[in-house]
């Protein structure tokens, strides 16, 4: 029987200081879990204190068995190598986060991040990161003048070139586990580029496990495992984890106005709303002076050789084309409106073109690939297990508002194991 929903689960995490695999009733471990002895702190561990933020100015290697609580690392020097060698970084003073709806006290609230990278050429490797609000943040400075220029839509190309030049770039994060982040595992700030996240895993992030912000480009996400992300959120002021309603659950990777990225050879399993969503943010909360409009579309991305297992949605191109966005307070031009049960509904045009979704495997995925914009290629993808639709092409609101159905989709070599491919061409869409 096809399961269309996954309910949020309150998880209990291991009391062991190092991050271990987290098993729930949904898991099917291939062998019994061996208990490991508790590891004592070695005498030669750097003497970083509880709650300390440490600026790293030279290559750093932590002895393997070191453990730290609520310690953060700020990197503002270029070409730094930080090797945890398996050491554990815990954003709390206890082994697991508070249960949903149970607030933290001020003293017990999670640390904001494990790493904040403000420079280029940085390598982070072999770390075990758990329980921070965001695991790793990669920064890009935006001055007040630049922000005003973008909001006024003046000298856009010049300002964007300046921002990419000053943004952190050529970052490599490898062989790292990021577990139980209250928000994101990895967050790329606007205009960051050339970040590689490889041979790692992100589990149980409350929000999207990886967020690629506006203007980000040419990042590589390869050889990773994404499991059960996107089921909750964290309110900083209230210091509380809250469950997301089914309609508000998030995807594993959010590609928000981000282009020329490569997402290759990853495994996605049981994430909240799905695995990889590409869209252009509608300039949310535009009245807030800190917000900037999105000029880049989520175009020219490569999604190849990935496995999608037990997901509601696999890959969704232009995932906000048909999303009701009245509560998002968008600054983009309104595309379509209508009256709904809860009031006036608003829809904004979304953009995700010239992407390639190639040679991926979808197992027990309700909706495998959804295409709501033009000029995308879907080639040699494989589908198996129960599903509602393997490939769905078409968009209702844009077609109705602008008389522009989805066109120029390249379909080639897509197959369903032992059956006929479940393909839907809707609302006047064509190949």
Question: Which pLDDT does position 28 carry in this prediction?
Answer: 36
Torsion over CA of 386, 391, 395 and 396, rounded to 10 degrees?
-40
All residues at 6 or more sequence positions from 357 whose CB lies less than 8 Å from its CB, including other chains? 303, 304, 315, 317, 369, 376, 377, 378, 379, 381
Question: Which pLDDT does position 23 carry in this prediction?
Answer: 34
What is the rounded distance in angstroms from the CA atom of residue 256 to the CA atom of residue 277? Answer: 8
* Helix (H/G/I), strand (E/B), else coil: 13: coil
Please calculate the CA angle 197-45-34 and round it to the nearest 5 degrees.
65
Evaluate whether 366 touches 424 at the Cβ level (below 8 Å): no
* pLDDT tens, per residue, the chain with 431 residues: 444 443 333 333 333 334 333 333 333 333 443 444 444 555 699 999 999 999 999 999 999 999 999 999 999 999 999 999 999 999 999 999 999 999 999 999 999 999 999 999 999 999 999 999 999 999 999 999 999 999 999 999 999 999 999 999 999 999 999 999 999 999 999 999 999 999 999 999 999 999 999 999 999 999 999 999 999 999 999 999 999 988 899 999 999 999 999 999 999 999 999 999 999 999 999 999 999 999 999 999 999 999 999 999 999 999 999 999 999 999 999 999 999 988 999 999 999 999 999 999 999 999 999 999 999 999 999 999 999 999 999 999 999 999 999 999 999 999 999 999 999 999 999 88
Question: Which pLDDT does position 338 carry in this prediction?
Answer: 96
Angle between helical axes of 144-151 and 156-166 (0-180°, round to 10): 140
Domain boundaries, the chain: 118-425
Question: Which pLDDT does position 247 carry in this prediction?
Answer: 84
What is the rounded distance in angstroms from the CA atom of residue 163 to the CA atom of residue 268? Answer: 32
Q: Is the dihedral of CA 153, 156, 160, 162 positive or negative?
A: negative
Question: Which pLDDT does position 166 carry in this prediction?
Answer: 97
Question: Which pLDDT does position 43 carry in this prediction?
Answer: 66
All residues at 6 or more sequence positions from 372 whose CB lies less than 8 Å from its CB, including other chains? 316, 317, 318, 319, 321, 322, 350, 352, 394, 395, 398, 406
- In the chain, what is the greatest distance between 2 CA atoms, to the nearest angstrom? 69
What's the whole-model pTM score?
0.90
> Is 118-425 assigned to CATH 3.30.70?
no
Question: Which pLDDT does position 27 carry in this prediction?
Answer: 37
């Amino acid at each position: 029987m096809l399961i269309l929903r996954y309910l949020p689960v309150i998880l209990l995490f291991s009391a062991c200081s190092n991050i271990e695999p987290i098993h729930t009733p949904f898991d099917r471990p291939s062998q019994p879990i061996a208990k490991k002895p508790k590891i004592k702190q070695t005498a030669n561990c750097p003497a970083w204190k509880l709650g300390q933020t440490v600026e790293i100015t030279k290559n750093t290697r932590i002895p393997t068995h070191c453990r730290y609580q609520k310690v953060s690392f700020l990197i503002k020097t270029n070409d730094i190598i930080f090797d945890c060698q398996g050491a554990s970084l815990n954003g709390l003073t206890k082994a697991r986060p508070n249960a949903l709806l149970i607030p933290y006290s001020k003293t017990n609230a999670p640390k904001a991040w494990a790493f904040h990278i403000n420079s280029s050429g940085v390598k982070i490797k072999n770390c075990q990161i758990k329980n921070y609000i965001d695991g790793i943040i990669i920064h890009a400075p935006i001055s007040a003048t630049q922000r005003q220029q973008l909001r006024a839509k003046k000298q856009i190309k010049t300002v964007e070139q300046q921002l990419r030049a000053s943004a952190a770039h050529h970052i490599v994060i490898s062989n790292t586990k990021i577990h139980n982040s209250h928000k994101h595992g990895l967050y790329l700030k606007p205009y960051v580029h050339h970040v590689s996240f490889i041979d790692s895993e992100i589990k149980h992030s409350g929000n999207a496990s990886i967020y690629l912000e506006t203007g980000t480009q040419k990042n590589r996400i390869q050889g990773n495992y994404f499991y059960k992300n996107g089921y909750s959120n964290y309110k900083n002021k209230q210091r509380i984890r809250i469950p997301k309603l089914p309609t508000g659950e998030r995807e594993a990777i959010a590609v928000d106005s981000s282009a020329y990225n490569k997402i290759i050879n990853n495994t996605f399993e049981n994430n909240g709303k799905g695995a990889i969503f590409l869209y252009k943010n509608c300039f949310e909360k535009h009245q807030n002076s800190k917000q900037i409009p999105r000029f880049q579309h989520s175009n020219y991305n490569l999604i190849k050789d990935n496995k999608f297992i037990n997901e509601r949605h696999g890959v969704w191109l232009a995932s906000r084309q048909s999303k009701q966005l009245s509560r998002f307070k968008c600054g983009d031009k309104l595309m379509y409106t209508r009256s709904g049960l809860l009031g006036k509904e608003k829809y904004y045009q979304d953009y995700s073109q010239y992407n390639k979704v190639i040679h991926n495997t979808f197992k027990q995925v309700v909706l495998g690939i959804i295409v709501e914009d033009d000029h995308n290629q879907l080639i040699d993808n494989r589908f198996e297990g129960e599903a509602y639709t393997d490939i769905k092409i078409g968009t209702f609101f844009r077609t109705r508002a602008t008389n522009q159905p989805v066109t120029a989709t390249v379909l080639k070599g897509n197959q369903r194991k032992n059956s006929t491919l479940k393909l839907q061409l809707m609302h006047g869409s064509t190949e």
